[in-house]
Amino acid sequence: MGPARERLSAFLGETYRTTTPAEKFLQKKFDNVTQRPLQSSVVIALGMARDPKEKISERDEMLAVACAVQNMHLTCTAYGLGAFWATGGPMTGAAMRGFLGLGDQDLALGLFYVGYPAVDWPQGHRRPLENVTIWHTR
């Protein structure tokens, strides 16, 4: 929150710059990576602290984080907040893991941007359930 978003913006910009080969560097992507934290009211870093005993599979732990993020997204929507989960390289790599103070076995799983939409809330358009579902009866 607050000024910490500026520190995050600078970190993301530097990480993108140092990890992107010059021929693949895109100014528009750099601008997006650095501006999003500043445009959001809150940015939530998503990390997964790995179970040291590894009783739970890494996949199950990651999927549990995804379920938690879905719940966060639904809560934001209920309060009229816009939100999205970004998982680009600067947000999930070893540098981000270090930035967040996560351990070597832990994972940085992206950033969850939250804020008030600058435009009218878009209308949802969902396809009918029968268009996206296959029912097996045998």
**Tens digits of pLDDT across the chain (138 residues):** 989 999 999 999 999 999 999 999 999 999 999 999 999 999 999 999 998 899 999 999 999 999 999 999 999 999 999 999 999 989 999 999 999 999 999 999 999 999 998 888 777 788 898 899 998 998
pLDDT at 118: 84
Question: Is 125 strand, coil or helix?
Answer: coil
Structure tokens at 13: 């910009």
> Taking the domain 4-117, which CATH number applies?
3.40.109.10
Q: Where are the alpha helices (DSSP H) in the chain?
A: 4-19, 27-39, 58-78, 89-92, 94-100, 129-132
Q: If DSSP codes are grouped into helix, strand and coil, which group holds residue 42?
A: strand
Q: What integer pLDDT is reported at residue 122 of this predicted model?
A: 74
pLDDT at 87: 95
Nearest alpha-carbon partner for 117 in 87, 84, 88, 91: 84
